[in-house]
Structure 1
């Protein structure tokens, strides 16, 4: 079984309360740490990688992002999915080629740019072209930005999700969807559903998100920010 097949299989037949938990490495060292802890796959966060490279979220040049993903995939044996924002303006064929060259078996693709939602049918066409270029070599996670850059209407998120799934997306990611609407989204969206776990102490644990309908749980840049906060505390204790 290829890594892509193994990654896809991890999303299937998940029991409620047992979502696929995918920590987000920002470099090779953090990736190895998560694998050593027992995680079967990883999903890079674009914001976390950006911070590790010294860029603001959304400002990482494409070449540097793909190079960072390649360093992570070379460092571990488990499948790695890559957050490549909205695709950096690359044509679908080139985007797929660069992801595969970097060793990724999956990708996140956002349906907004510059804080503005893209036209849903145009995004669906883009996703369909990515699917056609990738065949089964990539697991496509279509991010739905209604709750972060739209009006927050769950029905709009469900409508976009249906278009993206019909276009060939393997999973849908309504990022920052309120916990209270996850059951509604689960009822209205076919296939795997990605939920964001917040690490601020107020959000539900991954198992609870699974009970609410999440098939898989990711953390965005939360883990990188927690690690940075811990390092800041350590660094502060070194001063005389």
Structure 2
């Protein structure tokens, strides 16, 4: 079992409210997590792309298990629930996935049913979920269904079938990333008895998603990618003769380290 406090884990689950979904920002390092917490977000997630790319590693290739664990051990010091993207669990072995999850000591994990761009069997993914919940019952397991994300078996019936198998295995929530229509989202949320999570996108606002039954809206890698865009934009503007723009002060960034100090 993890050392996650039951009260904190229960509080994280309670944030997944019908009609008022949890908007989850996904950090890629300690500073981004602390800044998002300071902005008033009640829980912090991580982005596997941001963690992997920040270390010069490919995403979804089982190469970022170490950096993911290191970041989790920093973020668990924050005074809020923390959920970590663990890709596919970095292993085919359910017991190894459960042991890895236990080592993080966080409030939730996001685990995908896709390995290196290919969907795995729902039975194999369900076995990982069951192993995690057996080893770490307080951890909120958000089971990702990658049908629409990979473009394989990208139908609502296939997605719901996989989701229901993961719920039966013990998943606390289901995450369906990808470009979904309003009708598809409504079908999924109506059929799945646990909180459904989708990605933030230009297609739907949070109020619209709330009306469609979504209970969690993740930023995924959006913040990391937007930060890269903004960094290049600022550097290019300065190079091209524009004045340096205002930004968070040096001292304020220094202060972001305070939650992580022993």
Q: Given the two structures, how large is their TM-score scaled by the length of structure 2?
A: 0.83
Determine which of 159, 164, 175 is the counterpart of 2:177: 175
Q: Which is worse superposed, 94-103 or 46-55? A: 94-103
Aligned ranges 1:20-39 → 2 under 5 Å: 20-39=22-41
Aligned ranges 1:100-119 → 2 under 5 Å: 100-119=102-121
Q: Which is worse superposed, 80-89 or 54-63? A: 54-63
Deviation of the 1:61 alpha carbon: 3.0
Q: Distance in 1 between matches of 2:161 and 2:233?
A: 45
SS in 2 for 1:238: helix
CA contact (8 A) 1:81 1:108 kept: yes
Q: Distance in 2 between matches of 1:121 and 1:93?
A: 15
CA contact (8 A) 2:199 2:217 kept: yes
**1:140-166 deviation line (CA, Å, top 9, x unaligned):** 000001112212111000000110000
Larger radius of gyration: 2
Q: Distance in 2 between matches of 1:129 and 1:100?
A: 11
Determine which of 54, 66, 69 is the counterpart of 2:69: 66
| Structure 2, unaligned runs of 5 or more | 1-5, 242-262
Q: Paired residue for 1:211?
A: 211
CA contact (8 A) 1:183 1:213 kept: yes
**1:78-117 deviation line (CA, Å, top 9, x unaligned):** 1100000001016444434443433311101111112111
The size of the alignment, in residue pairs, is: 232
Q: Paired residue for 1:144?
A: 145
SS in 2 for 1:213: coil
Q: Paired residue for 1:129?
A: 131
**1:158-199 deviation line (CA, Å, top 9, x unaligned):** 00011000010000011115133100111111110001112x
Determine which of 179, 188, 191 is the counterpart of 1:188: 191
Determine which of 55, 64, 75 is the counterpart of 1:53: 55
Q: Which is worse superposed, 30-39 or 114-123? A: 114-123
Q: Paired residue for 1:227?
A: 227
CA contact (8 A) 2:44 2:81 kept: yes
Determine which of 98, 119, 122 is the counterpart of 1:120: 122
Q: Distance in 2 between matches of 1:98 and 1:117?
A: 21
Q: Given the two structures, how large is their TM-score scaled by the length of structure 1?
A: 0.90
Tell me how large the CA RMSD over aligned residues is.
Answer: 1.7
